[in-house]
Amino acid sequence: MKKIIAGLVMSMLFVGTITAQEKSNEDFKKWQARLRIVNVSPNESATIGTIGGDIAINNKFIPELDFTYFFTENFALELILGTTKHNVNTVGSNLTAIGGAASANVDLGSVWLLPPTLTAQYHFNYDNFRPYVGAGINYTIFYSAKSGAAKDISYDNAFGFAFQGGLDYDLNDKWFLNIDAKYILLKTDVTVDASNLSAGLSIPADVKINPLLIGFGVGMRF
């Protein structure tokens, strides 16, 4: 984690240095907005107490909206907004202590994630092609959790780091097409109240979600 933080800081300093050396140009449009269709693909894993096993979280397609502000023609900040619902279950859990199978999948219901993400970006301009790279921070809010086979389930909201790369293709001065990829380092502490299955049974879990988000969309400058 220290290496990730150090890398992020160095990237920001590098971008800041480039920005400081650029000439001011007030003719460019400072705002743009994109609407994307995004495939959210978790790279999930978990350490589950009491019953062991691993975790499975399904993929999902969602709409995503982002707003970008350009300080110069190359340096920008982007705020990414979207929400997604995922189904969750354990894989290969040992339920013999409560009269179940030695290897079973346990339905943990579903949960909604709201992960606003802010990234600092550097944009390269090659005629109609405008590739960019970015890095930033994410804060994920878990809400409307349904507990499945358990009595109750709770997820801790969590911060994570985000890394981004993409390409804008200009259709004209105002409209453009976009392809974008983001990888978010995200983990959360989960507590499962399984007292309906065995008196007093509480199952803690450290869950890594680490989603890859691949999106396609259209944007507008203004």
- Across the chain, which has 222 residues, the per-10-residue mean pLDDT values are 47 46 63 98 97 97 97 97 97 93 96 97 96 98 96 97 98 97 98 94 97 98 95
pTM of structure = 0.84
DSSP-assigned beta bridge partners for residue 165: 133, 181
Q: Given this model, what pLDDT does residue 26 score?
A: 58
Residue 169 tokens, joined: 């293709």
pLDDT number for residue 189: 98
Alpha-carbon distance of 23 to 203, in angstroms, equals: 57
Cα-based angle 119, 210, 12 (whole degrees, multiple of 5): 25
Which tokens hold the place of 49?
């107490």
pLDDT at residue 142 in the model: 98
